[in-house]
Structure 1
Amino acid sequence: MQAAIAFILVFGSIVFFHELGHFIFAKRSGILVREFAIGFGPKIIGITKGETLYTIRLLPMGGYVRMAGEDMDTTELQPGYRIGFLLNDQDEMSRIVLNQNKQLPDMLFLEVEKADLLKGLWVEGYDEDENLVRYNVARDAVIEENGQQTIIAPYDRTFNAKSLGKRAMTIFAGPLFNFILAIVFFMIIGLVQGIPTNEPIIANVVKDSPAQQAGMQKDDLVVSVDGKSISKWEQLSEVIQSSANKPIDLEVKRDGKIVPIEVTPKAAEVNKEKVGQIGIQYANTYEKNPLKAIPYGFEQTYNWIVKIAELLGLLVTGHFTLDALSGPVGIYKATEEVAKYGFMTLMNWAAVLSINLGIMNLLPLPALDGGRLLFFGYEAVRGKPIDKQKEGMVHFVGFALLMVLMIAVTWNDIQKFFF
């Protein structure tokens, strides 16, 4: 139960913030957002507020923001349709009923001859006295068919009507919010847990190691290597690893005094490379400084972006196999393990996952945000957008392939963890 709650909190938060980015920038651009969904597939919970339906769906593989003008969203009234409708105080159609089984007080009827629900916002047809009449349609009119209500979307409120910059920013905002969420999480960790100082303090000295033989002790603070001052553990580690079988001169601070030590790292094979080791372990020390928590959030996010980008590079070059990838099942199992080490560790894991989701969505692949941004880049160079049907087909095929990959990765996770 604890693992399930942790998974819902972690995965739900990063997906929610990703879609929140799309949602906020769509609304700021004046785009009508029809649905804000967490998950895919059948709807579990749905609440309509204003003009947007907020849903939680069965398959926890992501989410989406459905905007007016996308994916065959337009509603058309074909000639010959017999519709019922209500008028508002301005004699505009405010509600259009397509199925005639529903009768409402003051409902009027019309057989459609022509209609424009996108730009002109009018319907023309024959009334019950067979007179040809035209009615304007309210910008927030509702069309009802078989109990389902849909708000019409005037062209200026559709996604495709917006400038290239607004469309691109609306799409980019999803990954951007994932990075922002990671920054916030790392800031909170820095405030609550403290910021790692990375000082070269010795936590433990391995018995019979070169370090013990040279006289190094627990709690020693290394202040210089070969005459050069150091302040970070990484600086010490780099020199040791690159000095296999070569003596190095250290100065350590012990009980307020500087003690000189000469040690020769022993050569050891790591990842088919010879590196130097002296047998010391790092001591984690933390500094609680609110002023440093903000830059710490940005630094950690940047470092993880670089690390994940490097892993993607290894995947492209074939040094990293698809077997190492994980889907929702793998993320669930990893979250289950991470949750055992406390809330701060879980928050760190959530930050890394959020960065990962942001980067993966920026890949220039169909159906992903990066794929859509690639089309926008093509539009900017070409001076006009690509045919929407062709682009839609590319994204549809890309989404289908993405689902196949997700199923394959999920099945791989199931075999890995349960068989």
Structure 2
Amino acid sequence: METAIAFIIIFGSIVFFHELGHFIFAKRAGIMVREFAIGMGPKIFGMTKGETLYTIRLLPIGGYVRMAGEDMDSVELQPGYRLGIHLNENNEIDQIVLNQNKQFPDMLFLEVERSDLSKEMFIEGYDEDEQLVRYKVSRNAVINENGNETFIAPYDRQFGSKTVGQRSMAIFAGPLFNFILSFVIFLLLGLLQGVPTYEPVITTVVADSPAAQAGMKDGDLVTEIDGSPISTWDELSEEVRVSANEKMDFTVNRDGESLEFTITPNEVTAGKEKVGQIGVQYISPMEKNPVKALAYGAEQTYDTTLLIFTALGNLITGQFSIDDLSGPVGIYKVTEEVAQLGVYNLMYWAALLSINLGIMNLLPLPALDGGRLLFFLFEAIRGKPVDKQKEGMIHFVGIMLLMVLMVVVTWNDIQRFFF
């Protein structure tokens, strides 16, 4: 149960921030957002505020922000269609009823002759006296169909009416917010847990090791090796690694006293190499410093991004295979293991997943944010957009391929963890 809660919180937060990026920059561009959804599939909760429906959906495999003017969003009233209308005080249509089950006081009926609910904003048709009438449609008009209300989206509120830059930013903002979320999580880790100082302080001396035999103790701070200053653990580790079976003179600070030890590292096999070890373990001391926490957040975000890009490159070059990939099942199982290590490790895992989601979405593949950005790039170069039907077909094929990949990865996860 705890794992399920942790998974829902982590995955829900990552998806929420991703969609929040789309939402904020769409609203900044003046685009009407029809729905802000966390999850996919059947709706289990919904709340309308303003012109946006906020929903939580059953399947925790993503989310979406549905913007006006995308896909099949537009409403067209065909000639001969009979509908009900309500006029406001300015004699403009503010309610359009596409079925007659819902009645309004003073509701009028029209048989549509011509209409434009996007640019010119009017409906022309025959009233009950068979007179041809024309009414202007309010920019805030609502369409009621089978009990569902939808706001009219004037063309200047639609996604397609905005500049390439505005549309690109509305799409790019999703992955961008994933990187911002990761930075915030790493920053919080730096503030709450502290920032590693990487000082060469010996955490544990292994019994009967060269270090123990020489007289080293837990808490010793190494200041010099063979007369050369040592300021970080990485420097100490590298000096020992390349000095197998060679005598080394260590200067340490123990409770303010300077001591010297001569240690000969053992030679051990690490992979295909022979390296030196003196038998000590290390956990970096932590320092709580707000300024350093800011730097730590940025460094960790950058380093983790490079790490994921390296893994992605290995996948492309064949060093990893599709069998090494994990989907929701694999993420759940890892979350279960990480949850046992404490809240800080869960936070780190969440930051890693957030960056991973941001990078994956930026890949120039159909149906992903990166694929849409690629189409915007073509539009900027050509000076005109790609044909909507062609683009829609490419994205549809991309979605199908991603679904197939998801099924394959999920099956691999099931076999890996349950068989």
Query: Would the TM-score normalized by the shorter structure come out above 0.5?
Result: yes
Q: Structure 2 vs 1, CA of residues 170 and 248 (structure 1 numbering), >3 Å: closer, same or farther?
A: farther
1:373 maps to 373
* Corresponding residue for residue 310 of structure 1: 310
CA distance in 2, matches of 1:273, 1:365: 40
Cα displacement (A) at 1:261: 3.9
| Range that drifts further, 209-218 or 168-177 | 209-218
Give the aligned length. 419
Task: Give, in angstroms, the shift of residue 247 of structure 1.
Answer: 4.7
Deviation at 1:285, TM superposition (A): 1.3
* Equivalent in the alignment of 1:252: 252
Q: Distance in 1 between matches of 2:226 and 2:152?
A: 74
SS in 1 for 2:203: strand
**1:386 counterpart letter in structure 2:** V
> Is 2:32 the counterpart of 1:32?
yes
Partner residue, 2:163: 163
CA shift, 1:377, in A, is 1.8
Shift of 1:149: 1.7
Comparing 17-26 with 219-228, which one deviates more in the overlay?
219-228
- CA drift of 1:102 comes to 3.2
Distance 1:242 1:123, change over 3 A: farther
Aligned partners of 1:264, 1:382: CA distance in 2, in Å?
68
Aligned counterpart, 1:187? 187
1:277-334 CA-to-partner distances (Å, cap 9, x unmatched) read 3322103311112232222111111111111111111111111222222211221221
C-alpha deviation, 1:6, in angstroms: 1.1
Q: Deviations over 1:316-361 (max 9, x none)?
A: 1111222222211221221122222222222222111111111111
Once the two structures are TM-superposed, the CA of residue 226 in structure 1 deviates from its matched residue by 4.4
Matches within 5 A, 1:18-417: 18-417=18-417
Alignment partners' CA distance in 2, 1:318 and 1:297? 32
C-alpha displacement of 1:92: 1.0
1:41 deviates by 0.9
1:110-131 Cα deviation digits (max 9, x unpaired) = 1111111111111111112222
Distance (whole Å) between structure 1 residues aligned to residue 251 and residue 384 of structure 2? 66
1:209 Cα offset (Å): 3.2
Letter in 1 for 2:181: L
- Counterpart CA distance in 2 for 1:186 and 1:287 is 14
**Aligned in 2, Cα 1:257/1:358: closer, same or farther, shift over 3 Å?**
same
User: How much has 1:217 moved relative to structure 2?
Assistant: 3.0
Work out the CA distance in 2 between the residues paired with 1:44 and 1:255: 61
Name the CA distance, whole Å, in 2 between partners of 1:373 and 1:249.
58
In the alignment, the residues of structure 1 paired with residue 27 and residue 149 of structure 2 have an alpha-carbon distance, to the nearest angstrom, of 21
Amino acid aligned to 1:28: R
Closer, same or farther in 2 for the Cα pair 1:343/1:63, shift >3 Å?
A: same
- Cα deviation for residue 39 of structure 1 reads 0.8
Structure 1: how far apart are the matches of 2:247 and 2:308? 36
Question: Which deviates more from structure 2 when the two are superposed, residues 33-42 or residues 293-302?
Answer: 293-302
Q: Distance in 2 between matches of 1:259 and 1:311?
A: 44
Matches of 1:12 and 1:414, distance apart in 2: 22
CA displacement at 1:249 relative to structure 2: 4.3
Query: Could you tell me how far 1:47 is from its partner in structure 2?
Result: 1.1
Runs of 5+ unmatched residues, structure 2: none
Instruction: Look up the SS of the partner of 1:120 in the other structure.
Output: coil
SS at 1:309 equivalent:
helix
Deviation at 1:69, TM superposition (A): 0.9
Distance 1:84 1:163 in 2: 35
Give the Cα–Cα distance (whole angstroms) in 2 for the partners of residues 112 and 288 of structure 1.
Answer: 69
Q: Which amino acid aligns with 1:141?
A: A
Give the C-alpha shift of residue 101 in structure 1.
3.5
How far residue 60 of structure 1 moved from its aligned partner, in angstroms, is 0.6
Distance in 2 separating the partners of 1:361 and 1:247 = 52
- Structure 1 residue 274 displacement after superposition: 3.5
Moved more, 212-221 or 314-323: 212-221
- Secondary structure of 2:44's aligned partner: strand
In structure 2, the CA distance between the partners of 1:155 and 1:5, relative to structure 1 (3 Å rule), is same
**Residues in 2 aligned to 1:391 and 1:276: alpha-carbon distance in whole angstroms:** 58
Please give the alpha-carbon distance, in whole angstroms, between the structure 1 residues aligned to 2:142 and 2:276. Answer: 73
Change (3 A) 1:105 1:230: same
CA deviation after TM superposition for structure 1 residue 227, in Å: 3.8
For 1:76, the aligned partner's letter is E
The 2-side partners of 1:283 and 1:110 are apart by 77
Deviates more, 1:60-69 or 1:280-289: 280-289
Q: Deviations over 1:73-113 (max 9, x none)?
A: 11111111111111111111111111234333211111111
In terms of mean alpha carbon deviation, does 247-256 or 231-240 score higher? 247-256
* Separation in 1, partners of 2:243, 2:20: 50
Local SS of the residue matching 1:202: coil
**Distance in 2, Cα, partners of 1:340 & 1:351:** 17
Give the whole-Å Cα distance in 1 for the aligned partners of 2:383 and 2:260.
Answer: 68
Q: Mean Cα displacement is larger for which, 399-408 or 151-160?
A: 399-408
SS, match of residue 258 in structure 1: strand
Q: Which runs of 5+ in 1 are unaligned?
A: none
Amino-acid identity (%): 68
Provide TM-score, normalisation by structure 2: 0.95
